[in-house]
Structure 1
Amino acid sequence: MNTTSMQSASLWAYLQLMRPANILTAWADILLGYAAAGQVSQIQAVLAGTVSIVELVPLGWLLLATTGLYAGAVVFNDVFDAELDAEERPERPIPSGRASRQGATILGSVLLLGGIAAAAQVSLISALLAIAITIAALLYDSAGKHQDQFGPINMGLCRGGNLLLGISAAPELLSDRWFLALIPIVYIIAVTAISRGEVQGGKRETGIAALVLAGAVISAILLLGFLPVYHLLAAVPFVLLFAGLILPAFIKATQDPSPKTIQNAVKSGVLSLIVMDAAVAAGFAGWLYGAMLLVLLPLSMLLARLFAVT
C-alpha cells in the first residue's frame, strides 16, 4: 500500500470513529429545539427574502456545536473502550490499528472544545449547556455506561441537553420549555438499556422495559397537544411513523434477544430519533417543517450503510 493509500485509510478510520450517521440525529435535536423556541419564523423570513440570511447564523453555530460535541463524545467512547473492543470488536478502528488511541484522543478533544467554542458564539447559556453536555458525555464514556441503572440515564441526559442547546437559540424560553428534554431522555434510556445485549445477547425483561418506555414517549408526544402553542394534528402522521419504526424492532428484540436482533433494534432506535424529533417539531412549527427535518432520515440511513451506528 503506497503512502497516499495509507493516509486515505487512516482518514477513513478516524471518520468512522465519529459515526457520521449519528451526527445527523444530533442535528435533529437542535432543529427541534429551534422550533420549540419559536425561531422557525426566522427561516421563513429568510426564505421570503424579508430578512438577511445573517439571522440564521445562531442556528448554524448550534448545528456546528452539536456536530463537535456528538462526534467528540463518540470518539472518546472508542478511546475508553479500546481494550474491551480488542476482545469483542477487533474490527473497530483503534483495536485494528487503523487509528491510534493517541490520535483519537486528540481528535476527540479538538471536536469537544470546538463544539463548546461554537456554542459560545450564540450565548453564554449555550456555552454552559455545551460544557454540561461534554461533562455528561465523558462521564458516560468513562464510567456511566458500565452502570446498569445510571448508565442509560446518563446517556439520556446527553441527548436531553442537546435539545436544550437548540432551545438556547432563544434563552428566555428555556425556563418554559425545559420539560421537552424529558422526551429524548426517556427514549434514550430505552434504547441504551436494550443496547446492553449487543455483544452477548440481552434479556427479555429489558426488552419489555424498553417497550414500556417507548410507549411512554409516544404518549408524551401526544399529550403535548394540551399545550396552546402545539398543533397535534400536524404531529400525528410523524408519531405514527415513529411508532411503526421502533415498536416492531423493539418487539422482535424482546422475543429474540440475540445480539444481531438487538443490534438491529438499537440501529432502528438511534435513526428513529430523527422521526421522534420531527414529530415533536411538527407540532410547534407545522408539518412542512417536520417534513424538512425528516429529510435527515434517508441521509442518515445512507451514511449508516457506510459507517457503524452502534
Structure 2
Amino acid sequence: MNVATLNTNRLWAYLQLTRPANIVTAWADVLAGIAAAGFAISLNPVSVICLLIATTGLYGGGVVFNDVFDAELDAKERPERPIPSGRATFRGAAFFGSILLIVGVSAAAQVSLLSMAIAIGVAAAALLYDAYGKHHTFLGPLNMGICRGGNLLLGVSILSPMLAESWYLALIPITYIAAITAISQGEVHGGKRSTGIVALVLMGAVITGLLGLGGLNKSNLVAVVPFVILLSGRVLLPFIKAVSEPSAENIRTAVRSGVLSLIVLDATISCSFAGLPYGLLVLILLPISMVLARLFAVT
C-alpha cells in the first residue's frame, strides 16, 4: 500500500468516526429549533450557518469520543471499527474529537452567549454519556435524550427571548431519543422484550405529543398529520418487530430507522410552527442522510 492510499484510508477512517449520516439529523434539530423561535432565515443567514457548524462540531465530537471511550470494548465486539482496526489511532481520535467540540462551542459563541452556554452543556452531556451514561439502563437513555433536546434548544437560541417560551419542546426529542437508546441496548447481543415495550410506549407518547403540538396551531394541523403518519410508519413498524422478536438484527434495524427518522420528527415540529414549506425544507435532509447511511454506520 503506497503512502497516498494509506493517507486516504486514514482520512476515511476519521470521517467514519463522525457518523456523517447522523450529523445531518443534528442539522434538522437546529432547523426545527429555529422554526420554533419564529426566526426568518433570510434575515440573518450567518447566525443559521454558525449554528449548523456548531451542531456539526458538537455531534461529530460526541460520537468520535463514543468510539474513543469504547475502544477496548470494540476491539472485542466490533474490531472492524476505525480505532480497533488500526485505521485511526486512539490519540488521533481523541484529538480530533476535542477539536470538533471546540469548533462547535466557538461557532455557537458567534451567535450569542446563551447559544455558547447551551453548546457547552450539550458537549458536557455528550461526554458524560460516552464515558458513563450509556452503561446505565435508565440514565443512559435520559442522558442521550438531553443531548438531542439541547441541540434543538440550540436552534431556538437564535432568538434568545424565545427560549423561555419554547423550552418544553426539548421534551419531544428527549423522549424520542430515550426510546431509541433504550431499545439500542440490545444492538450487539439482542435485547429484552420488556425494554422494547418501554421504548414502544415512549415512542407512542412522542407521536401523541406531535399531534398535540400541531393542534396548538390549527392552521398547520392538516399539514402536520401527513408528517406524523410518515414518522409512525417509519418508526413504529420496526419497533414492533424488535419487541416481538428482540434479535440483534431487528434491534439494529429499529435503531437505524429511528435515528434517520429524527429528520421526520424535526420536520413535523418545523411544520407545526412555520408551515408546510419549511417542514418540507427540513424533510429534504432525509434522503441526504439515507444516502450517507449507505456509506457510513448509523448508531
Taking structure 1 as the reference length, the TM-score comes to: 0.95
- Asked whether 1:184 is paired with 2:182, we answer no
Question: Aligned to 1:148, what secondary structure does the other structure show?
Answer: coil
Does the 8 Å CA contact 2:217/2:272 hold for their aligned counterparts?
Answer: no
- Asked whether 1:34 is paired with 2:51, we answer no
Question: Aligned to 2:125, what secondary structure does the other structure show?
Answer: helix
Match of 1:19 in 2: 19
Question: Aligned to 2:296, what secondary structure does the other structure show?
Answer: coil
d(CA) in 2 for partners of 1:16, 1:225:
37
Match of 2:79 in 1: 90
d(CA) in 2 for partners of 1:230, 1:76:
43
Aligned-partner residue type, residue 167 of structure 1: V
Aligned-partner residue type, residue 161 of structure 1: G
Does the 8 Å CA contact 1:224/1:230 hold for their aligned counterparts?
Answer: no
d(CA) in 1 for partners of 2:12, 2:214:
44
Q: Deviations over 1:44-72 (max 9, x none)?
A: xx4xxxx6xxx211000000000000000
Match of 1:212 in 2: 201
Q: Deviations over 1:202-246 (max 9, x none)?
A: 011111111111000000011113435872222111111000100
d(CA) in 1 for partners of 2:89, 2:257:
30
Q: Deviations over 1:170-210 (max 9, x none)?
A: 01000000000000000000000000000110011111111
* Residues 117, 236 of structure 1: alpha-carbon distance in 2 compared, 3 angstrom cutoff: same
- Asked whether 1:81 is paired with 2:65, we answer no
Runs of 5+ consecutive residues of structure 2 not aligned to the other structure? none
Question: Aligned to 1:198, what secondary structure does the other structure show?
Answer: coil
d(CA) in 2 for partners of 1:166, 1:12:
29
Aligned-partner residue type, residue 236 of structure 2: L
Match of 1:266 in 2: 255
d(CA) in 1 for partners of 2:219, 2:33:
14
1:280 is aligned, of 269, 272, 281, to: 269
Match of 1:70 in 2: 59
Does the 8 Å CA contact 1:190/1:209 hold for their aligned counterparts?
Answer: yes
Does the 8 Å CA contact 1:14/1:104 hold for their aligned counterparts?
Answer: yes
Match of 2:226 in 1: 237
d(CA) in 2 for partners of 1:175, 1:150:
26
d(CA) in 2 for partners of 1:169, 1:297:
23
Does the 8 Å CA contact 1:229/1:284 hold for their aligned counterparts?
Answer: no
d(CA) in 2 for partners of 1:83, 1:29:
31
* Residues 230, 124 of structure 1: alpha-carbon distance in 2 compared, 3 angstrom cutoff: farther
Equivalent residues in 2 for 1:98-113 (5 A)?
A: 98-113=87-102
Runs of 5+ consecutive residues of structure 1 not aligned to the other structure? none
d(CA) in 2 for partners of 1:5, 1:186:
43
How far is 1:255 from its partner? 1.0
Aligned length: 299
d(CA) in 1 for partners of 2:228, 2:30:
19
Does the 8 Å CA contact 1:233/1:283 hold for their aligned counterparts?
Answer: no
d(CA) in 2 for partners of 1:225, 1:273:
17
- Asked whether 1:135 is paired with 2:124, we answer yes
Match of 1:167 in 2: 156
What percent identity do the matched residue pairs reach?
62
d(CA) in 1 for partners of 2:218, 2:168:
15
Q: Deviations over 1:19-48 (max 9, x none)?
A: 000000000000000000001xx33xx4xx
Equivalent residues in 2 for 1:285-300 (5 A)?
A: 285-300=274-289
Does the 8 Å CA contact 1:230/1:284 hold for their aligned counterparts?
Answer: no
Match of 1:146 in 2: 135
Q: What is the alpha-carbon root mean square deviation over aligned residues? A: 1.0
Could you list the structure 1 runs, at least 4 aligned residues long, displaced by more than 3 angstroms after superposition.
Answer: none
Equivalent residues in 2 for 1:119-130 (5 A)?
A: 119-130=108-119
